[in-house]
Structure 1
């Protein structure tokens, strides 16, 4: 058994969130409100809940935002150190860059934009029992063709790291969480961009190091796209995705203090309404993320979409599987369907975009 207090946690946030950043500029994605809290809070609370005390947070993008929010970590029961990359170093380079801040002989490394329910204590125990140099958290997915896959032997030993293929030999994929012996981290080259998946792990296999996989079927979602961000937020609100940081009752909606929801508005599917947002009567929101200060007009329908800080959605507008940037104004009766992206501050006049056959 591993004592988690003798384990470092490394969280890599780097330059992640680039696919949302042009649309919602108010915060880097790991800090965007997700079920009422900065996204990274959910991961840090899981780390603390597992009994890990020391966290090294590595970033190269808006580093000051993270320290301003989390400080020394004491509010979460953690001790947080910060390491800033002068330029993005990738996953492998980011891990090597934090080596000087490690306090213990074992470190668990997290990609900072993954929402997961992995049992961290069980992962650490598996690493110890197998006397592994590195242990990877692996998850099984229904369609592994969209991912690189990681085959293992019956005892869990990793045999290869394979790129995306139309005929993958396994449904096991890298879940973005790894346990390292500190001595392995100290051997990773420093000062250059480096991929842990494409360079570090394959080299360890070639050197005969013991790399193992820990496979489970817990909740897992890579929050790298707006669609996954919306789905993950809804799963947190509904209690499908776990987070020790959440104290509200799980259900179909989460309405923050200061928000206004008129009678007759329907909020379902894990919808989140931010502080100061206004939802008019007759609006129907299903799995929507409405950021602070946004306004939704009467009869508008918003499904599985992000409405940015201070954005306005006009009466009877339809937004489905889209992202509306901060401060944008979408006029009445507009229809924006799957994949629609409206940049911050853009104004679309009433009826300016429609997909219906009627006029």
Structure 2
């Protein structure tokens, strides 16, 4: 069995971060989202992985390499334009051959991995297995309709009027019959080859399409709110570890990770927090659910429920929260502007000004 990992999307919902960085490499708890997926694939006993890459191919290649650090053998499959998930399957045809495969969207995060799902698929081997989860607003997702027996009878891609609240999670398991299905469909109104249309083709032609309801934690980390939420979830499981330097005037409370080479000086850190190697926190407060990447400088500031990417600095700006701060960013106080009142008053006016 092989894996097909999609890492070619533009990440428009994470701009401006993704103007200069691949969305799959934005870190949560100081590890790229993509890496969690690759580790899940390796844990499921799959070693051959094809990675779909687009405009950010060089960055993905540099980060993942040949896959050996994950226990994988990675092959890169260029996609000139992001023309849909089914298009990714289409261009991966030669690589996938006649093997069963799991398709994993590189910006998705599933707590607990996919080992149980892969094992069950290997045992029962339906033509396709989809993962579903209930969401408050399914209009932004592929949506599944089940009959009274729980069988999948219909799929829609981002419908205006969803027939259920069951959204497709970004992990799919297929046998080689999917290749005929992706060749049989036409582009959608969005101009893409939709994987939902390909699976619908399987349903319409009598193939065995099954679904599993994901009861654990899943997120599509396509926007800042979800990215911060995934960061919070991962940090809740970290264990306290102080490998760097924490001086006697500082206080670290709870599940705090200070990586080797990091320094905490005259500061208060309340976990769960991860502070990356080479980072210095001085005269500051770092609050829960914050991850600070390597080689950052945090001075005379307060930071909470945020992600700070590498080589950035925050100095003297009071409190920052619910924020995603990119690489090589400088956050400093604005110049003090004298306050003034501009008045146009008629005759015999009386004005009280609070000073």
How far apart, in 1, do the equivalents of 2:103 and 2:336 lie? 49
**Structure 1 unaligned blocks of 5 or more:** 1-6, 241-245, 333-347, 353-357
In the TM superposition, what is the alpha-carbon distance from 1:156 to its structure 2 partner? 4.2
Contact in 1 for aligned 2:292/2:307 (Cα 8 Å): yes
Higher strand residue share: 2
Q: 1:93-104 to 2 correspondence within 5 Å? A: 93-104=87-98
Aligned to 1:280: 282
Aligned to 1:335: none
Determine whether 1:290 maps to 2:292: yes
Say if 1:351 and 1:167 are closer, same or farther in 2 by CA, change over 3 A.
farther
Say if 1:228 and 1:331 are closer, same or farther in 2 by CA, change over 3 A.
same
Determine whether 1:265 maps to 2:263: no
Determine whether 1:323 maps to 2:324: yes
Aligned to 2:350: none
Where 1:213 maps in the other structure, the secondary structure is strand
**Structure 2 unaligned blocks of 5 or more:** 243-253, 339-353
Q: 1:196-275 to 2 correspondence within 5 Å? A: 196-239=194-237, 252-268=255-271, 270-275=272-277
Where 1:69 maps in the other structure, the secondary structure is helix
Contact in 1 for aligned 2:30/2:291 (Cα 8 Å): no
Q: 1:24-63 to 2 correspondence within 5 Å? A: 27-63=21-57
Deviation track 1:50-103 (CA, whole Å, cap 9, x = no partner) reads 111211111113212223333322222211111011222221111211111115
Larger Cα-atom Rg: 2
RMSD of equivalent CA atoms: 3.3
Contact in 2 for aligned 1:136/1:174 (Cα 8 Å): yes
Say if 1:79 and 1:155 are closer, same or farther in 2 by CA, change over 3 A.
farther
In the TM superposition, what is the alpha-carbon distance from 1:143 to its structure 2 partner? 5.5
Say if 1:330 and 1:109 are closer, same or farther in 2 by CA, change over 3 A.
same
Contact in 2 for aligned 1:289/1:306 (Cα 8 Å): yes
Say if 1:285 and 1:216 are closer, same or farther in 2 by CA, change over 3 A.
same
In the TM superposition, what is the alpha-carbon distance from 1:263 to its structure 2 partner? 3.4
Deviation track 1:312-340 (CA, whole Å, cap 9, x = no partner) reads 322252222223343333334xxxxxxxx
In the TM superposition, what is the alpha-carbon distance from 1:350 to its structure 2 partner? 6.0
Say if 1:167 and 1:294 are closer, same or farther in 2 by CA, change over 3 A.
same
Where 1:217 maps in the other structure, the secondary structure is coil
How far apart, in 1, do the equivalents of 2:205 and 2:136 lie? 32
* Greater relative contact order, per chain length (Cα 8 Å cut-off, separation 6+): 1
Where 1:319 maps in the other structure, the secondary structure is strand
Aligned to 2:341: none
Aligned to 2:99: 105
Say if 1:273 and 1:116 are closer, same or farther in 2 by CA, change over 3 A.
same
How far apart, in 2, do the equivalents of 1:104 and 1:64 lie? 29
